[in-house]
């Protein structure tokens, strides 16, 4: 029997929920480029994106039961709870007890903050930070390179 007031359950498929916060996807959740895998599947990360959008729009922490009606996907509460728990494990959400459930709040302000976190995570995964950064910068467009130099306080 499932208790709808807790969020500890890992029942239900998260349908690509692993990928939005860390930029990865496995074969079961869709292609690494964010496109849908088999017909009828959602693009990788779509559910996480919907959950994050609902949390960013809220002016307070939300429980899975409160997030569920705020997203367009028709998901079981346990699936929403699983997505929230995975985002929490990745550090994208903070959670606090709200009775017997958890209430979640984003640890990043918006989609741009999430993208910046992904970039930093990838940098930290590299064995040689200097090489990773050099290769990243070498692939930037001239406009992006000027922007980066400006942000770092250098003359273009």
Q: Give a three-class secondary structure readout of 107-123.
A: CCCCHHHHHHHHHHHHH
97 and 29 within one domain: yes
Q: What is the mean pLDDT of each run of 10 residues along the chain (156 residues)?
A: 40 38 38 55 84 94 96 92 96 95 95 91 88 91 92 74
CB-CB contact of 62 with 104 (8 Å): yes
pLDDT at 5: 41
Model pLDDT, residue 75:
92
Residues 96, 121, single domain; the answer is: no
Same domain, 70 and 143: no
Distance CA 67, CA 129 (A): 38
Token code pair at residue 62: 């939300």
C-alpha to C-alpha distance for 46 and 95, rounded to whole angstroms: 21
pLDDT at 65: 95
* pTM above threshold 0.75: no
Assess if residue 8 is contained within a domain.
Answer: no
Amino acid 25: pLDDT: 36
């Amino acid at each position: 029997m499932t208790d709808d007031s807790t969020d500890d359950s890992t029942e239900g498929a998260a349908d690509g929920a692993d990928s939005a916060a860390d930029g990865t996807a496995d074969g079961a959740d869709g292609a690494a480029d964010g496109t849908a895998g088999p017909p009828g599947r959602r693009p990788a990360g779509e559910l996480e994106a919907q959950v994050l959008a609902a949390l960013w729009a809220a002016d307070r922490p939300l429980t899975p039961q409160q997030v569920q009606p705020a997203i367009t996907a028709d998901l079981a509460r346990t699936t929403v709870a699983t997505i929230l728990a995975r985002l929490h494990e990745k550090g994208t959400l903070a959670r606090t007890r709200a009775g017997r459930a958890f209430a979640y709040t984003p640890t990043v302000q918006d989609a741009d903050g999430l993208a910046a976190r992904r970039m930093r995570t990838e940098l930290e995964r590299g064995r040689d930070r200097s090489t990773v950064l050099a290769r990243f910068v070498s692939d930037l467009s001239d406009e992006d390179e000027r922007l980066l130099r400006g942000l770092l306080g250098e003359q273009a």
